[in-house]
A and B are shown apart, each in its own frame.
Chain A
């Protein structure tokens, strides 16, 4: 079995700060995703990548950058953290089209 690891688990940032979240998977999955989940709500797609060095914008990409330098890792950068922002960022991976997703345990962000 494989694992998908997100770091850090908790992230407290200051308004205007640039913050980076990391995700690693050892499933050898081609496709990786970053979703944002606000409290008790559904998941909104920020960025995804179908292979190394590929980046595709989701519905919520404004205010974020992403990087997929290796097949196994996908990082997300909040370019300028917004005060009082609080959300969980979930990374996922899948083999590809019509395959189920495996999610990481999430990074909980709080901006003060």
Chain B
């Protein structure tokens, strides 16, 4: 049973557009969420993490978290072709061990 569900599986947005990615955990013990980005043929790199209810913004990237529903979302504004990648959501309970979702493949069309 997949404990971290991501949607959509794939997403195409035009250059300059907004990309919105979703992630939900089914593990009530989760207290941290992470977003990683993985370009093709490369290793995942951490983008943002969030553990408090609400919103966190870093440049073009905004992450939201609703702890009651264990739902997080990543929003990328002014999307660039270089943002095209696999976006992985991960959740960690107090053990610190990350469980990853299957990811969303984002394609930004010039």
The residue that A42 contacts in the complex, of B31, B88, B95, with Cβ under 8 A, is B88
A105 in contact with B42 (CB, 8 Å): yes
Instruction: Identify the closest chain B residue to A48 (Cβ).
Output: B97
B83 within 8 A of A: no
With an 8 Å Cβ cutoff, the count of chain A residues facing the other chain is 23
A45 in contact with B99 (CB, 8 Å): yes
B43 in contact with A100 (CB, 8 Å): no
B96 in contact with A41 (CB, 8 Å): no
A98 in contact with B96 (CB, 8 Å): yes
Complex interface: chain B residues within 8 A of A104 (CB): 43
Q: In whole angstroms, how far apart are the Cα atoms of A60 and B44 in the complex?
A: 19
The residue that B43 contacts in the complex, of A33, A98, A103, with Cβ under 8 A, is A103
Min CB distance A20 to B, Å, is 20
A residues whose Cβ falls under 8 Å from a Cβ of B: 31, 33, 35, 40-45, 48, 58, 90, 94, 96-101, 103-106
